[in-house]
Amino acid sequence: MNNSSLRIFIILTILFVFNQLIEFLGIKIVFFNSYLDDLLCFPIILSAILFIHRKWRLKNKYFILPISHVIISVCVFVIIFELLLPMISLKFTADIFDIVAYIVGSIIFFKFINVKPKEA
């Protein structure tokens, strides 16, 4: 990751950890408690996948995840978390805004994190 991508990743990860902490402490901020995890999941998860590909799997610091991989990732999450799990357990609720959050998060990843590093 270049410096800009790394900064964005770190900020989003800190935001995720902070949100988990306030949820753990029982502080209720409805919008954040409902949608922030969904918004941040793809920038964080796909950044980890990108890092693994660049450092260990492909050993190519210029590799970027193809848009098809990002779209498939979103589709898999939607199918599992918004379709299947709500059908088999009352603990899960299908929510169109979760899908919107997944899509926005994946766009953030693709536009701001999944970029080729500049030559030094």
The mean pLDDT value for 89-93 works out to: 94
Confirm whether 118 is domain-assigned. Answer: no
Please report the pLDDT score of residue 119 as a whole number: 66
Residue 56: inside a domain, yes or no?
Answer: yes
* 119, part of any domain: no
Q: Is the pLDDT of residue 15 over 70?
A: yes
- Provide DSSP, the chain: --HHHHHHHHHHHHHHHHHHHHHHTT---HHIIIIIHHHHHHHHHHHHHHHHIIIIIS--TT----HHHHHHHHHHHIIIIIIIHHHH-TT----HHHHHHHHHHHHHIIIIIS-PPPP-
Residue 120 inside a domain? The answer is no
> Is residue 36 pLDDT above 90, yes or no?
yes
Full domain range(s) for residue 28: 3-113
By CB atoms closer than 10 A (0-12, 13-18, 19+), residue 26 is exposed
**In this model, does residue 99 exceed pLDDT 60?**
yes
Task: Count structural domains, the chain.
Answer: 1
The verdict on residue 100 lying in a domain is yes
